[in-house]
Amino acid sequence: MPNTMNQVATLTQVTETPNALAEFLRGLPGVDAVGADQRAASLATRSIKTESKRRAIDLAISMIDLTTLEGADTQGKVKAMCAKARHPDPLNSEVPHVAAVCVYPDLVAIASKELVGSGVAVASVATAFPSGRADLQTKLSDTRFAVSQGATEIDMVIDRGAFLSGDYLKVYSEIVATKSACGDAHLKVILETGELATYDNVRRASWLAMIAGADFIKTSTGKVTPAATLPVTLIMLEAVRDFREQTGRMVGVKAAGGIRTAKDAIKYLVLVNETCGPDWLTPQYFRLGASILLNDLLQQRQKMITGHYSGPDYVTID
């Protein structure tokens, strides 16, 4: 685009004062909730069969951020999950590895050790996940620690309280600071759309994160219901699509939480395909944050090869 540089400059200018930023975000076109829900529902009726289903399943596996974010997580649990991330189906080496594992910062070291040379990235949540209720210094040291332990991707949460009270500049500054604390690590910004409540807010938060330098925008922590939904993901995909048109920069989208079945995962891929096009259909630009989804994908994959369902004992539970 000829005037891309100008537009980048304009977008930086909108962050110079709180009012300019608020005006910019409120000036984005609104989202009609009924229409957005309808569009997502109509894309969900796409029928993905045979060869396209086979490819979609492998693509979905390769886009998974295999996640464990429990207070009860242990080194043993993380090791087991890393083994699964490398070889999702131990009996079939054709199954691709997942995109990343996602753990708490204190378990990053063990995960990066387990995944050396595997091509699987290590992602860590940070910035006082999941609530984000801490001072900036704590959030930044949380981030630096995760990076120092070997995390190459950081999943930060935004300050939803600040966002909902209209203090957009605070949210913006925290993202900028976290991005800088990340160094070379990729930054995924979790909007926690379940707490933002309206689609207009989802669109505004998406733009706010992208202007602040997010490499990915992510729906949810998985700790709040609703987590990822098709319409919310649709709105975020529209945002990254429009952001590229304006600035030339591609931002990824991660749908996380509540995606449990292969059928659901394929609906998300259709959404990506028909909203942003094939450029986004790669683990570099689209991720699925999930845990039990992987096993359903594996079972569906086996079913496509053998023609019958194997049952839960034929996939590993790690």
Partner 1 sequence: MNQSFEYSPAPESRAIVNLATSYGLFIDGKFAQGQDGAPFKTIDPATEEVLAEVWGAGPKDVNRAVTAARKAYNQTWRKTSGRERGKYLYRIARIIQERSRELAVLESLDNGKPIRESRDVDIPLVAAHFFYHAGWADKLDYVGLGSSPSAYGVAAQVIPWNFPLLMLAWKVAPALAAGNTVVLKPAETTPLSALWFAEICQQAELPNGVVNIITGDGATGAALVSHPDVDKVAFTGSTEVGRQIAISIAGTKKSLTLELGGKAANIVFDDAPIDQAVEGIVNGIFFNQGHVCCAGSRLLVQESIADAVIDSLKRRLSTLRLGDPLDKNTDIGAINSAPQLAKIVELAKSGELDGANKWQAPCQIPEKGYWFAPTVFTNVTQSHRIAREEIFGPVLSTLTFRTPSEAVEKANNTPFGLSAGIWTEKGSRILQIASQLKAGVIWANTFNRFDPASPFGGFKESGYGREGGRQGMLGYLRPRGK
**Minimum distance from residue 26 beta carbon to partner 1 (Å):** 11
User: First-to-last CA distance in the chain?
Assistant: 47
Instruction: Please give the residues from 164 up to 223 whose contact with partner 1 meets the rule CB under 8 A.
Output: none
Contact 114, 122 (CB under 8 A): no
Task: Verify whether residue 242 is a known catalytic residue.
Answer: no
- Rounded-to-integer distance, Cα 214 and Cα 291, Å: 24
The half-sphere exposure of 108 on its side-chain side, counting CA atoms within 13 A, is 23
> Does 252 interact with partner 1 (rule: CB under 8 A)?
no
Task: Verify whether residue 303 is a known catalytic residue.
Answer: no
Residue with tokens 């000829």: 2
**Minimum distance from residue 314 beta carbon to partner 1 (Å):** 26
Contacting partner 1 (CB under 8 A), which of 14, 24, 25, 39? 39
Contacting partner 1 (CB under 8 A), which of 47, 93, 137, 225? 47
| Phi/psi at 102 (5° precision) | -130, 120
**Minimum distance from residue 291 beta carbon to partner 1 (Å):** 22
The helix (run of H) or strand (run of E) holding residue 296 is: helix 293-306
- Rounded-to-integer distance, Cα 218 and Cα 208, Å: 13
Three-state DSSP at 199 gives: helix
> Does 240 interact with partner 1 (rule: CB under 8 A)?
no
In degrees, to the nearest 5, what angle opens at C-alpha 196 toward C-alphas 237 and 164?
A: 125
CA–chain centroid gap for 291, Å, is 13
**Minimum distance from residue 224 beta carbon to partner 1 (Å):** 25
Task: Verify whether residue 159 is a known catalytic residue.
Answer: no
> Does 146 interact with partner 1 (rule: CB under 8 A)?
no
> Does 46 interact with partner 1 (rule: CB under 8 A)?
yes
β-pairing, 216-218 vs 153-157, is: unpaired
Residue with tokens 């976290």: 178
Tokens standing for 275?
Answer: 């909203």
Q: Which of 84, 218, 296, 318 is catalytic?
A: 218
- Considering beta carbons, is residue 39 or 179 the nearer one to partner 1? 39
**Minimum distance from residue 59 beta carbon to partner 1 (Å):** 7
β-pairing, 100-103 vs 216-218, is: unpaired
The total of other beta-carbon atoms located within 10 Å of residue 35's CB is 11
> Does 311 interact with partner 1 (rule: CB under 8 A)?
no
Tokens standing for 301?
Answer: 């994959």
Contact 127, 174 (CB under 8 A): yes
- Considering beta carbons, is residue 60 or 189 the nearer one to partner 1? 60
From 1-9, 47-55, 133-141, 179-187, give the range in contact with partner 1 by CB under 8 A. Answer: 47-55
Each residue 59-98 as x (binds partner 1 by CB under 8 A) or -, in order, gives x--x------------------------------------
Q: What number of chain residues touch partner 1 (CB under 8 A)?
A: 33
Q: Which of 139, 179, 254, 267 is catalytic?
A: 254
- Considering beta carbons, is residue 113 or 241 the nearer one to partner 1? 241
From 30-38, 181-189, 221-229, 302-310, give the range in contact with partner 1 by CB under 8 A. Answer: 30-38
For the annotated catalytic residues, the residue numbers are 155, 218, 254
Binding footprint of partner 1 on the chain (CB under 8 A): 29-32, 34-36, 38-39, 45-53, 55-56, 59, 62, 235, 238, 269-270, 273-274, 278-279, 281-283
